[in-house]
Amino acid sequence: MQPQWSPRIGWNDLPAHVRAGVEGVLGEPVAEFAGQQGGFSPGSADRVVTATGRRAFVKAVGPALNAASPGIHRKEAAVAAVLPGNLPTASLIGAFDDGEWIALVLTDVDGRHPHLPWQSDEVGLVLDALLTVAWTPVLPALGHLPDLASEVGPEFAGWERVRADPPQDADGWVLENLDFLERLAARGVEDLRGECLVHTDLRADNILITPADAAVLVDWPWACVGAGWFDALSVLINIRVFDPAFEVEPILGSHPIFGGVAPQSIDGVLSGFGAYFTDAARQPPPAGLPTLRTFQRQQGDAVLGWLRQRLTARS
């Protein structure tokens, strides 16, 4: 399966004053640009090169494209500005914000997205990067970040909404096991409490693999503080989306990012993800994001298929 990302505008589509604002941040004119695809934002995503050869990554959006997207960019700017320098992330050079349009100017990472379907060596690189994040203390400058359990709690309660208004194409196994799945998801929320920095939106399009065989994690607007293994489980879900036959179970038992995590905790978070994706996928697509609901449905199918296999294997 190949991903169907949301269509993006490009550098030349930005208002002239926004382009000028970016050049003001960089201190010189942009001479070259190359649009990047991937993700679920209607805004621009360009690698740019200035007249003197300086490289940067620029992402910009205005409310006419999607009303929520500028606020998301502002959240990302606030996080990126204070991320510890030792983490495998891009650094914020600066931002232009006129109150409507906002453009983030970040260091350009020399890298590419992981191969899809995922490859085992790249999975290891990403999980190792996440271990570095989990072991790095959360700095006081990030003290404003929300608690992961509190943030995902309403989303993981999606089984309640499914019960009240079942989707027309609801999985029969889900409907037969709603009580159990709801209890699992509630446990999952509680098990996500912790003291680690968490990305919370990690998938292939938010990861870059460098020529030096390192993984860099980008796009941090939804950062939280909680269980350090949450992002790693999100990566395994993404793997299953693009290759349901990929053997992810051995990774749970072998990589130290999952050390000490109970199988029931994994089940609980998988159920919570299933609740969120099942409920969200039936909603109308947001403005400028026509493919989001399809991808959420694909993620829901991957999560619930994996959870059902795990429960069946232990029954």
Q: Which of 170, 29, 72 is nearest to 11 (CA)?
A: 29
250 contact partners, CB below 8 Å, separation of at least 6: none
Residue 14 has pLDDT above 90, yes or no: yes
234 contact partners, CB below 8 Å, separation of at least 6: 200, 201, 202, 203
Residue 1 has pLDDT above 70, yes or no: no
Using 50, 70 and 90 to split pLDDT, how confident is the model at 178? very high
263 in a domain, yes or no? yes
CATH number, domain with residue 138: 3.90.1200.10
The residue range of the domain holding 20 is: 11-106
Which token pair is 286? Answer: 């947001």
Q: What percent of the chain stands above pLDDT 90? A: 93
What does the alpha-carbon distance between residue 304 and residue 298 come to, in Å, rounded to a whole number? 10
Same domain? For 178 and 301 the reply is yes
End-to-end CA distance of the chain: 31
CATH number, domain with residue 27: 3.30.200.20
For the CA atoms of the chain, what is the radius of gyration?
20
| pLDDT on residue 43 | 95
Arithmetic mean of pLDDT, 182-187: 98
Q: Which of 207, 202, 241, 240 is nearest to 224 (CA)?
A: 202
Q: Each residue of 16-64: pLDDT tens digit?
A: 999 999 999 999 999 999 999 888 889 999 999 999 999 999 999 999 9
Are 55 and 49 in contact by the 8 Å Cβ rule? The answer is: yes
Same domain? For 170 and 267 the reply is yes
Arithmetic mean of pLDDT, 116-136: 98
Q: Each residue of 55-112: pLDDT tens digit?
A: 999 999 999 999 999 999 999 999 999 999 999 999 999 999 999 999 999 999 999 9
Question: How far, in whole angstroms, is CA 10 from its chain's centroid?
Answer: 22
Q: Each residue of 201-217: pLDDT tens digit?
A: 999 999 999 999 999 99
Between residues 3 and 124, which one has the greater pLDDT?
Answer: 124
243 in a domain, yes or no? yes
Using 50, 70 and 90 to split pLDDT, how confident is the model at 2? low
Q: Which of 245, 279, 244, 264 is nearest to 310 (CA)?
A: 264
Q: Each residue of 148-160: pLDDT tens digit?
A: 999 999 999 999 9
Mean pLDDT (the chain) is: 96
Residue 3 has pLDDT above 90, yes or no: no
Are 129 and 216 in contact by the 8 Å Cβ rule? The answer is: yes
Which token pair is 119? Answer: 């490859």
The last residue of a domain, from among 71, 106, 141:
106
Helices (H), the chain: 16-26, 69-80, 120-135, 148-156, 158-164, 172-176, 178-191, 230-242, 249-254, 263-280, 292-314
Q: What percent of the chain stands above pLDDT 70? A: 99
What are the phi and psi torsion angles at 44 (to 5°)? -80, 160
Q: Which of 76, 83, 26 is nearest to 55 (CA)?
A: 26
111 in a domain, yes or no? no
| pLDDT on residue 37 | 84
4 in a domain, yes or no? no
220 in a domain, yes or no? yes
Q: Which of 301, 302, 304, 293 is nearest to 181 (CA)?
A: 304
- ∠ CA 20-22-27, rounded to 5°: 90
Q: Determine which helix (DSSP H) or strand (DSSP E) holds 209, and give its type and residue range.
A: strand 207-209
| pLDDT on residue 206 | 96
The last residue of a domain, from among 106, 135, 167:
106
Same domain? For 74 and 142 the reply is no
